[in-house]
């Protein structure tokens, strides 16, 4: 393992086609995974599940002022309490049930390295990139090109795909979203959360802000999410669609509808100082900017998490996608839906830093069924007698008033399995133990759950109007079929992708260095629905990215740093290698660099 300073000098630089040669990157854990979307569905339970990173004051409604007062942030730059959120990914079993996939995110800020050329996001600025209704790809659309995926194979060829890869990805899948970076200079938001911004002249990651309607250049946010899909590869033959078994939370197997949201939560003045002066390291290391006093970099801090605000189970194994979203295959656009069962709302939201909190908020708005009145509140959880209570977490500084929260047991629940799923609506989760797909996952039988039926009404555009009501969902779905007693370790035969990742790209390709404010790729599971003991996974992933010397990614002056290091991982001769390990046991990641 190399020291941070030497790792940085050996890191592969980005070959950007724009004037962007100043940037920093930062890793972030998920603070929550639930049906919240304060941009598209402010003040209401959203139609599908999002995983969220950033400031702890995330909730049903957010403003820059409220986010700045967050007690903590999951990104390493203390002054960035913005929120970034995106749909969660699930594995669909042959019987129709779903199991959540673990993930971790990395956020890049890219901009020209000349002061005065980039304008920081103003207070209460927000935007959305991508469209969850899409089920087909339009190569002529900048918006479509802003979303893509990498099929990671750290010991072979990593390939780029416009949609979710229809092949086995031995090292997981990385979803990527570029946000628009040209602004009209007037509106902080727009009805569809997109019309006030635009992509650059040559696409989402190249060109300038040449359109006179969008003359203001903003920092370009590039959001990566690493999904631990490789943990499910041995179960692909038991999937609903073995060739592509993964489904986003809104019912999308294609991946063309992937999207992400952003709400500005930067402390006043900090981001402008950063885009004007944080250009001291060409490899994205923010340490030198912190040393200049531009912002505060917090290394290896405890993970920032918040307790749920929607009383439903969203991770683990579920009978249906939360919100009762059916899988819509396309190629026609999908329809955004919402369940007729609306879970209860909880308050306050509590900040915690361990694997699970010891309490959650109380019901302030009871669960309801559209056309069916009010559902009774969930039973009050009872503390477990087998596990010692953890220290009480502090409430988020923006938590609203409400009854005193009830303690949450840390164990004692029965783990859901694909054959015995937990209802995704109206059930109160009583624990936050983290599930792990690295464990032996019980396989479901061939019995398939009935998919929702009906003909919902299409919306004019995602985000412009309230979501339509999906077919009726039972408030308490019954248990599913019993799981199979044996696991199948076979993988389906897949064709290799015809589109290998090029050695130089206008968007970042290599994972960032691990020293940037602590663990970058944590692959931390979202809070789980049961208190059953979970064996800590110890699987380690190694990533390799080959770059020919002609790519100019490493200058000759860096070579001595390679040959003097004694702890470097060996690579193939005549190649520069960027290797990254993700260790799920200690939540840490390390980088190795070698040149022969």
Q: How many alpha carbons fall within 13 Å on the CB side of residue 549?
A: 11
Res 422 pLDDT > 60: no
Contact 217, 208 (CB under 8 A): yes
CB 590 within 8 A of CB 513: no
Instruction: Give the per-residue pLDDT at 428.
Output: 34
- CA distance linking residue 253 with residue 328, whole number of Å: 8
Answer for the pair 149, 165: CB distance below 8 angstroms, yes or no. yes
* DSSP 3-state of 68: helix
Higher pLDDT, 239 or 519: 239
- CA torsion sign for 132, 351, 269, 297 is negative
- What distance, in Å, lies between the first and last C-alpha atoms of the chain? 17
pLDDT band at 556; cut points 50, 70, 90: very low
Q: How many CA atoms lie within 13 A of 96 on its CB side?
A: 16
Average pLDDT over residues 501-516: 38
pLDDT score for 561 = 37
Mean pLDDT across the stretch 203-207? 91
- Nearest CA to 59 out of 33, 80, 77, 37 is that of 37
Percent of the chain with pLDDT over 70: 59
Mean pLDDT confidence for 145-166 = 96
Distance CA 384, CA 406 (A): 12
Average pLDDT (212-229) is 98
Q: How confident is the model at residue 434 (pLDDT cuts 50, 70, 90)?
A: very low
Q: 551 by DSSP, 3-state: which?
A: helix
Strands (E), 295-358: 305-306, 317-318, 337-338, 341-342, 345-347, 351-352
Task: Give the rounded percent of residues in the chain with a pLDDT score beyond 90.
Answer: 53
428-440 average pLDDT score:
34
Q: From start to end of 312-404, where are the E strands?
A: 317-318, 337-338, 341-342, 345-347, 351-352, 359-360, 362-365, 368-369, 373-374
pLDDT of 151 higher than 60: yes
Please tell me the predicted confidence (pLDDT) of residue 497.
37
Smallest CA-to-CA distance from 514 within 25, 34, 88, 183 is with 25
- For residue 466, how many other CB atoms are within 10 A of its CB? 12
> How many Cα atoms are found within 13 Å in the side-chain-facing hemisphere of 279?
19
N residues, the chain: 596
CA gap 438, 76 in Å, rounded: 27
Mean pLDDT within 228-255:
97
Q: What is the pLDDT of residues 246-259, one digit of tens each?
A: 999 999 999 999 99
Among residues 203, 320, 249, the alpha carbon closest in space to that of 86 is found at: 249
Stated pTM of the model: 0.68
Residues 6+ apart with CB under 8 A from 220: 20, 108, 109, 110, 111, 178, 179, 181, 200, 205
Which pLDDT belongs to residue 380?
A: 33
Task: Give tens-digit pLDDT for 443-491.
Answer: 443 333 333 333 333 343 445 433 333 333 433 333 333 333 333 333 3
* C-alpha to C-alpha distance for 463 and 196, rounded to whole angstroms: 14
């Amino acid at each position: 393992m190399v020291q941070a300073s030497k790792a940085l000098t050996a890191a592969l630089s980005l070959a950007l086609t724009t004037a962007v040669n100043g940037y920093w990157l930062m890793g972030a854990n998920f603070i929550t995974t639930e049906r919240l979307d304060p941009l598209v569905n402010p003040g209401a339970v959203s139609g599908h599940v999002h995983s969220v990173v950033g400031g702890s004051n995330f909730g049903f409604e957010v403003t820059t002022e409220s986010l700045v007062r967050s007690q903590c942030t999951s990104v390493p730059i203390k002054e960035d309490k913005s929120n970034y959120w995106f749909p969660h990914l699930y594995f669909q079993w042959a019987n129709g049930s779903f199991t959540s996939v673990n993930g971790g995110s990395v956020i890049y800020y890219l901009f020209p390295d000349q002061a005065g050329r980039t304008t920081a996001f103003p207070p209460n600025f927000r935007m959305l990139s991508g469209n969850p209704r899409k089920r087909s790809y339009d190569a002529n659309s900048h918006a479509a090109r802003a979303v893509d995926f990498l099929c990671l194979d750290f010991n072979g060829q990593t390939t780029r795909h416009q949609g979710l890869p229809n092949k086995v990805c031995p090292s997981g899948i990385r979803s990527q979203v570029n946000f628009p970076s040209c602004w009209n200079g007037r509106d902080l938001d727009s009805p569809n959360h997109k019309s006030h911004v635009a992509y650059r002249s040559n696409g989402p990651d190249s060109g300038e802000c040449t359109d006179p309607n969008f003359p203001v250049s903003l920092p370009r946010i590039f959001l990566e999410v690493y999904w631990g899909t490789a943990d499910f590869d041995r179960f692909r033959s038991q999937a609903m669609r073995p060739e592509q078994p993964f489904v986003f939370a809104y019912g999308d197997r294609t991946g063309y509808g992937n999207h992400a949201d952003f709400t500005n939560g930067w402390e006043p003045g900090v981001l402008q100082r950063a885009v004007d002066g944080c250009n001291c390291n060409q490899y994205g290391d923010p340490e030198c900017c912190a040393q200049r006093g531009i912002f505060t970099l917090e290394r290896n801090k405890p993970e920032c998490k918040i307790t749920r605000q929607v009383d439903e189970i969203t991770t683990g194994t579920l009978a249906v996608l939360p919100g009762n979203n059916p899988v819509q295959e396309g190629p026609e656009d999908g329809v955004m839906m919402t369940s007729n069962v609306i879970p209860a709302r909880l308050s306050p939201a509590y900040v915690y830093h361990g694997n699970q909190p010891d309490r959650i908020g109380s019901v302030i708005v009871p669960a309801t069924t559209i056309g069916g009145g009010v559902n009774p509140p969930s039973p009050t959880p009872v503390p477990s007698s087998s596990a010692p209570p953890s220290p009480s977490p502090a409430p988020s500084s923006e938590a609203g008033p409400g009854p005193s929260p009830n303690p949450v047991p840390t164990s004692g629940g029965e783990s859901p399995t694909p054959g015995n799923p937990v209802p995704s609506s109206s059930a109160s989760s009583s624990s936050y133990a983290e599930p792990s797909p690295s464990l032996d996952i019980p396989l479901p039988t061939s019995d398939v759950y009935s998919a929702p039926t009906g003909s919902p009404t299409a919306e004019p555009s995602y985000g412009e109007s309230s979501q339509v009501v999906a077919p009726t969902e039972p408030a308490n779905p019954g248990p599913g079929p019993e799981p199979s007693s044996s696991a199948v370790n076979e993988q389906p035969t897949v064709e290799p992708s015809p589109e290998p990742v090029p050695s130089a790209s206008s968007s970042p390709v290599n994972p960032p260095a691990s020293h940037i404010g602590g663990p970058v790729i944590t692959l931390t599971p979202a809070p789980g629905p049961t208190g059953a003991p979970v064996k800590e996974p110890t699987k380690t992933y190694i990533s390799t990215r080959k770059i020919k010397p002609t790519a100019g990614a490493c200058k000759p002056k860096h070579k001595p740093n390679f040959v003097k290091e004694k702890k470097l991982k060996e690579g193939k001769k005549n190649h520069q290698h960027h290797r990254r390990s993700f260790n799920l046991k200690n939540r840490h990641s390390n980088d190795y660099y070698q040149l022969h």
